[in-house]
Structure 1
Amino acid sequence: MVTALGPAVGATDVALPGGGVVALSWAAQTHTGRKRVDNQDSFLAASPVFAVADGMGGHAAGDEASAAVVERLAENLSQGFTDVDAVQLALRRAGVDIDGIALRQDGAGAGTTATGVALTLLSGQAYWAVFNIGDSRVYSLVDGVLTQLTVDHSAVQTMVDAGQLTTAEAEAHPSRNIITRAVGFGHDPVPDLWFVPVMMGSRLLVCSDGLTKEVDNDLIRLLLSEGRDADDAAGLLLEAALTAGGRDNVTTVVVEVVRADDAIESDTTLPRLG
């Protein structure tokens, strides 16, 4: 059963240390899909952290693994900003939890993806800390331009990076569901990390691969742009995945920056790999 933490539709103002605010609105939607009987996705939608986890393993193991990630991320939520150390600690604790889940499942493997954004401060300026383990994704939409902020940890992405496959070929490859990094399976969870300036008017999408395996980036850009608000955009994206076949669980979390005082006028990201 899906674990959903935080309000499905919400908004908040976060005070900046030098004065002014960052105003956010968000929405989260999830669906079992048209082919699955259970939903192993979980999400956290509660400022300052917005995250999606896509569980793997048997029915109970996948549910519990994804739940462990969002529950650990939710433990130290503040009213303002957080930092990447807290995110990394939460993921390590979730990894320990998941190893315990696997033992209770007679040693069968259990794991989950974990991706999302955390509102943080760098030199007094508001940034999104984007984190990722696995093949769930984070996108940004700024001035109509869609950018995939995360890089999949998957077998096909490795082949794309090596020049062995094109992106289009990867989408239909028989190994497209194999991931190369996860929280669980006895491994230390190591997220990739990027810092992205908070931009007024921008939208962020955090989603499971139930969306991206059904809907291409052009349609994601269109629907994320056309949504009247975060809830409408999340719903349009989810419905598009279901219309395209809905072969997997689908989760969409959309965060909109309604106001950002003293926002950095730059589209530069600061990469940091964990």
Structure 2
Amino acid sequence: MTEPVELGGFVADIAIAGASHVGAVRSRNEDSFLARHPFAVVADGMGGHSHGERASRCIIDALRAVDTDDLPRVEDVLGAIGAANAQLIAEADEGFISGSTVSGVCLVRPNPTDRPHWMVFNVGDSRVYRFDGRRLEQVSVDHSLVQELVALGQITPEAAAVHPDRNVITRAVGSDPLLDIDVWLLPADSPQTFLVCSDGLTKELGDDFIADLLASHETDAEGVVESLVSAALAVGGHDNITAVLFEYVPEFDGDETTATRQPVLEDTRPRA
């Protein structure tokens, strides 16, 4: 169900919904998510570490605590993730070794007088997609061994999907005091749909299947994410499965938009 939200000078109809399932194989769900304006976030606790569930929840709790009386700043979001990273590293020194991916999208106001922008952020191999009604576009870049091999031209994307090291990630929250977070800023001046999900969804369902389901679904956001999770479970559910959908339709007053501002895009090619 969409609801109108006042964003300082204009109103937007917004719907955000999330769903998660332990899957058919795992005994514990180490995924956590945040589906509350202005956030759509997924954190996937690392199964190879102890306390993965604790790590993903730590990140989500930090983001949930961000002040959203007005739209947050980029620095607020990065600061929350950085604080979670510091907490996890401190706990590792006490023997609680844990780590997690985090991927998400948030409506932010880069400067006090700016119109809202989308902030897409990513650490690890959970993903942020943008859907235009027909085509699914991956905005985030996986921080994984196979993505680096694809970027180097050593394997194809098809080979990456079945590679024995496809679960090896190269960045995670809680693994390095100097956390490197990929960030994109995109204008929020037109209707937009974002899908944020853990790899438990994307390793079961191809992008074309996800796009077809999004395009054909006639229910609300809650029904869409539940259908995505159910579809991934039906074809195997080998990992925890989480999906969050963010639907946004702005209703601007007058002719002013953010279209005159250039998107700020970090070079996020996979790095060793």
TM-score (norm 1): 0.88
Q: Aligned partner of 1:118: which letter?
A: C
Give the direction of change, closer, same or farther, for the CA distance of 1:11–1:124 in structure 2 (3 Å limit). same
Q: 2-side partners of 1:270 and 1:39: how far apart?
A: 35
Give the direction of change, closer, same or farther, for the CA distance of 1:201–1:229 in structure 2 (3 Å limit). farther
Matched, 1:35 2:25: yes
Q: CA RMSD of the aligned region, Å?
A: 2.2
- Alignment partner, residue 272 of structure 1: 266
Q: 1-side partners of 2:194 and 2:234: how far apart?
A: 22
- Alignment partner, residue 121 of structure 2: 131
Shift of 1:46: 1.6
Q: 1-side partners of 2:151 and 2:29: how far apart?
A: 31
* Counterpart among 105, 112, 122 of residue 100 in structure 2: 112
Q: 1-side partners of 2:164 and 2:223: how far apart?
A: 33
Structure 1: gaps spanning 5 or more residues: 1-8
Give the direction of change, closer, same or farther, for the CA distance of 1:243–1:224 in structure 2 (3 Å limit). same
% identical aligned pairs: 38
Higher strand fraction (1 or 2): 1
Give the direction of change, closer, same or farther, for the CA distance of 1:216–1:83 in structure 2 (3 Å limit). same
Q: Is the CA contact (8 Å cut-off) linking 1:199 and 1:260 kept in structure 2?
A: no
Alignment of 1:123-162 (within 5 A): 124-162=114-152
Give the direction of change, closer, same or farther, for the CA distance of 1:260–1:135 in structure 2 (3 Å limit). farther
Shift of 1:102: 2.4
Q: Is the CA contact (8 Å cut-off) linking 1:61 and 1:101 kept in structure 2?
A: no
Aligned residues: 261
TM-score (norm 2): 0.88
Give the direction of change, closer, same or farther, for the CA distance of 1:52–1:11 in structure 2 (3 Å limit). farther
Matched, 1:74 2:64: yes
Give the direction of change, closer, same or farther, for the CA distance of 1:78–1:243 in structure 2 (3 Å limit). same
3-state SS of paired residue (1:215): coil
3-state SS of paired residue (2:239): coil
Question: Larger relative CO (CA 8 A, sep 6+): 1 or 2?
Answer: 2
- Alignment partner, residue 15 of structure 1: 7
Q: Aligned partner of 2:84: which letter?
A: A
Shift of 1:28: 0.6
Q: Aligned partner of 1:144: which letter?
A: R
